[in-house]
Amino acid sequence: MINTIEAKPARRSDYHSLEEGQKNIKFADLIIDGRSLYQRLMKHDMVPSLGWMSTECQREMIDYFLLRKPHDTMGCRYPLMVCSWCGDEECGFISVRIDKVNDIVSWSDFRLEHGMTKINIGPFHFEWDRYEKVINSTFGVAGIQ
């Protein structure tokens, strides 16, 4: 089964009320088969790693998701959701395994780091051309921070 993917600008407050001191970060929400990935994983109090942070960080995330380079410490796993305050992986993150065979990209084995706890969503399979356009479109969604 091939899944659909799109990206749209979102804020944390679009989905729930924020408590005092929480950052209302803007990010690129990935919509898979019409459902927000952020909303599916919201209980972990993290935000998508695409569409915000510095220019350098955004380009690096896009390179990861387009399989242009492996992650420095995780190989074929990539940080999908990160700390909403700073985006630093040291604060914890959700990772996904990304593989490409021919023109199909697969996301599987979602894990909550540091304990590598499995999260039961996916796998998802995307057509490469559409996937590449969507991932590239996330650059600068929230501006440069």
- Supply the DSSP symbol for 105: E
29 in Cβ contact with 8 (< 8 Å): yes
Q: Of the candidates 47, 118, 43, which has an alpha carbon nearest to the alpha carbon of residue 77? A: 118
Residues 6+ apart with CB under 8 A from 113: 89, 92, 93, 94, 95
**SS3 call for 130:** helix
Instruction: Provide the 10 A C-beta neighbour count for residue 23.
Output: 13
pTM value is 0.88
**Domain boundaries of the chain, sorted by first residue:** 5-16+24-137
79 in Cβ contact with 71 (< 8 Å): yes
Mean pLDDT of the 35-48 span: 91
80 in Cβ contact with 95 (< 8 Å): yes
Note the pLDDT of residue 36. Answer: 95
Give 143's pLDDT tier (boundaries 50, 70, 90): low
pLDDT tens digits, one per residue of 17-41: 656 656 667 899 999 999 999 999 9
Token pair 């399989």 is at which residue? 67
